């Protein structure tokens, strides 16, 4: 039981760091269309991806299809 709690806390901390990196530093968008609209408005060449943590869309410099095969939304 003690081991289980420790393991779970470690996992949660790792996820928190991941969320902090991907979510708090990026603007969340309610839809891919909104993300693309903002990107076009600012003349940016970025990629959109759906975030599994905050359930919003983010923009990223890297294409997510090849570098993150675990993201299979759509
Ligand atoms: Zn996010």
Average pLDDT, whole number, for the chain? 80
Instruction: Give the whole-angstrom CA distance, residue 21 versus residue 1.
Output: 30
Please give the distance, rounded to the nearest whole angstrom, from the Cα atom of residue 48 to the centre of ligand 1: 12
Distance 72 CA to ligand 1 centre (A): 15
Of 11-20, 28-37, 52-61, the poorest mean pLDDT is in 11-20
Centre of ligand 1 from the C-alpha of residue 4, in Å:
27
Question: pLDDT at position 32, please?
Answer: 96
Of 35 and 25, the one with more pLDDT: 35
State mean pLDDT over 44-58. 91
* SS3 of 27-74: CCECCHHHHHHHHHHCCCCCEEEECCCCCCEEEECCCHHHHCCCCCCC
Calculate how far, in angstroms, residue 53's C-alpha sits from the geometric centre of ligand 1: 5
Q: How many CB atoms lie within 10 A of CB 58?
A: 21
Distance (angstroms) between ligand 1 centre and the Cα of 36 equals 16
Q: Is the separation of the CB atoms in 26 and 42 below 8 Å? A: no
Tokens of 51: 């975030």
What are 1-29's pLDDT values in tens digits?
566 666 777 888 887 887 777 788 889 99
């Amino acid at each position: 039981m003690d081991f289980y709690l420790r393991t779970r806390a470690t996992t949660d901390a790792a996820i928190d760091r991941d969320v902090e990196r991907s979510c708090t530093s990026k603007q969340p968008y309610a839809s891919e269309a909104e993300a693309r609209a903002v990107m076009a408005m600012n003349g940016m060449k970025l990629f959109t991806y759906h975030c599994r943590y905050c359930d919003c869309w983010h923009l990223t410099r890297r294409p997510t299809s090849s570098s993150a095969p675990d993201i299979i939304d759509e």
